[in-house]
Amino acid sequence: MMIPGQYLRFFKDKNKDKPKQPENDSSIGFDQIYTKAPRSFSHSEFDSTPTNTQERMAERINRALSMVYSVESLPTHLITPSAMKIHSIKVSRNLRRCQIAYVPLPTKAEQRGKVHRAIQKYADLLSSLIRTHGQIYRPLSIKFVADTQAKELDTLYEKISAELKEES
């Protein structure tokens, strides 16, 4: 493809060796400023410390979820707080994805399976109700994720609290 000479400056090779300039030179021309690639979404993004906006959005979703539980009549009792506990709400950096980690409360495996299946079945209904009551107008993907590490963390916290009680 032929590019006219006057537009060649827009197609500079970014990987070309740049001439070294003194570090104290603060006057850099526009032709030497290059853009960075945007931060890509990865699975470890939910592990990083949330920003203020992410925390506010998570609180907003939590309030909307409590409003759903108090106002709406849900199709089954298996998706209510009596059958499951919301462990955490994590929002991605671009505020487009949300993971709600839940723990089923029943002790029997059969009942826990029923809770998981009910949440999978009614996830779309719950997410649309959360968007409505949270007044979230931008597209937001809400996923309900079973929290498998909650039990391990709770046992670890119990061990630490027992050790602290023994020391005191």
Residue 120, domain extent: 50-167
**CATH number of the domain that 59 lies in?**
3.30.300.20
Domain presence at residue 38? no
Query: Residue 148 — very low, low, confident or very high, per pLDDT cuts 50/70/90?
Result: confident
Q: Is pLDDT at 121 greater than 90 in this prediction?
A: yes
Question: Which of these ranges, 3-7, 81-85, 124-128, 138-142, has the smallest mean pLDDT?
Answer: 3-7
pLDDT, one tens digit per residue, over 12-56 is 666 666 556 555 555 555 555 555 555 555 556 666 788 999 999
Q: Is residue 121 part of a domain?
A: yes
Residue 157 included in any domain = yes
Asked whether residue 21 is assigned to any structural domain, the reply reads no
Query: What's the mean pLDDT when you consider all of the chain?
Result: 83
Residue 150 has what pLDDT? 75
Point out the least confidently predicted range of 5-14, 79-88, 96-105: 5-14
Number of domains in the chain: 1
Residue 149's pLDDT is: 80
Residue 17 domain-assigned (yes or no): no
- What's the pLDDT score for residue 77? 93
List of long-range contacts for 122-127, beta carbons under 8 Å, 24+ apart: 122/74, 122/75, 122/76, 122/79, 125/75, 126/65, 126/68, 126/79
Answer whether residue 28 is part of any domain: no
Cα–Cα distances (Å) from 90 to 3, 6, 49, 56, 99, in that order, read: 47, 49, 10, 11, 5
pLDDT number for residue 19: 59
Tokens of 56: 């506010």
pTM of the model: 0.66
**Token pair of 100, please?**
């709600």
pLDDT at position 137 over 90: no
